[in-house]
Amino acid sequence: MKAVRLHAYGGPEALIHEDAPAPVPGTGEVLVRVRGAGINPFDWKLRQGRFKDMMPFQLPAVLGGDLAGVVDAVGPGVTAFSPGDEVYGAAEFGRGGAYAELAIALADKIAAKPKKLDFQASASVPTPAVTAWQALFDAGGLKAGQTVLIHGMSGAVGRMALQFAKQAGARVLGTASASARDELVRLGAEEVIDYRTQRFEDVAHDVDLVLDAVGGETQARSFGVLKRGGALISLVQPPSEEAASSHGVRARMMFASPTRALLEQIAARIDEGKLDVRPAVVVPLAEAPRAHAMAESGKAHKVVFSVGD
């Protein structure tokens, strides 16, 4: 099969489109013929070598977590899927990623893909949507009537979080560029704070939950807008335990953990017209360096590989 593999950590040019051995599904695993593969920040950070000490893996390696495609074969014990099923979800880390014609996924980390979306659009959904949901509700405990401040609200995760929070009955504020304001208001944001010209502290007060997709100084300043008993959930760096204690709030960093049940719920919302998925930039798998450079630059909202036919 053809795959994009990383032979050594480095820039986008380190991604090589080449022949690679096809994986074979084991117990509880599904072999997916990939049609779309989403690029997430974790992918290009992994390529750079940022996680090589905490998450070592053998090179050459196929990167990519998010996929959509058609079930090609199932391993022993898999009864939920059959060859020919159209699915989306997460490739199994360490068993070969999604940047390939064939990829392995655990049966409990994929679901039937949204009927309203094609394979490439479906591949743009799993990590952003699962991260947003689990950050808001599982980690953040957001409830109807509460106020959430989303940093990076125009990004892939932030945009999903805005919609989930609004549908849950929360009041939603967020930081973004002024150019994104109209779209975010359309999706339900009460306040869009231009991070270039405004201090979010001047607008946001007594916030129940901060969802931080920015980090750095923005994260540090966010403790001051939380009410006591509130929470700060970061997607990018561990928050200060000392700052959290002094402000009487909870704070933690989290990573997405997809489940079939949650992926099914997300797909249902998309098919019911309750979740707006912004079109991604689609790039052929053979042009992986260009796609990664585009994703890393932040100039594209979301970049997805098209794979196979």
**Domain ranges, ordered by start, for the chain:** 2-125+277-306, 128-253
Compute the distance between CA of residue 168 and CA of residue 133 in angstroms, rounded to an integer.
Answer: 11
Closest CA to 29 of 81, 69, 68, 86: 81
Q: How far apart are CA 112 and CA 86, in angstroms?
A: 6
Fold of 128-253: Rossmann fold (3.40.50)
pTM: 0.95
The pLDDT of residue 218 is: 97
- Exposed, middle or buried, 144 (CB in 10 Å: 0-12/13-18/19+)? exposed
Right CATH for 2-125+277-306 from 3.30.70.20, 3.90.180.10, 3.40.50.10490, 3.40.50.2000:
3.90.180.10
Task: Say what the pLDDT of residue 58 is.
Answer: 84
Q: What is the pLDDT of residue 277?
A: 97
Per-residue pLDDT of the chain (309 residues; tens, 9 = 90+): 999 999 999 999 999 999 999 999 999 999 999 999 999 999 999 999 888 777 777 899 999 999 999 999 999 999 999 999 999 999 998 898 999 999 999 999 999 999 999 999 999 999 999 999 999 999 999 999 999 999 999 999 999 999 999 999 999 999 999 999 999 999 999 999 999 999 999 999 999 999 999 999 999 999 999 999 999 999 999 999 999 999 999 999 999 999 999 999 999 999 999 999 999 999 999 999 999 999 998 878 899 999 986
Neighbours of 121 (CB within 10 A): 23
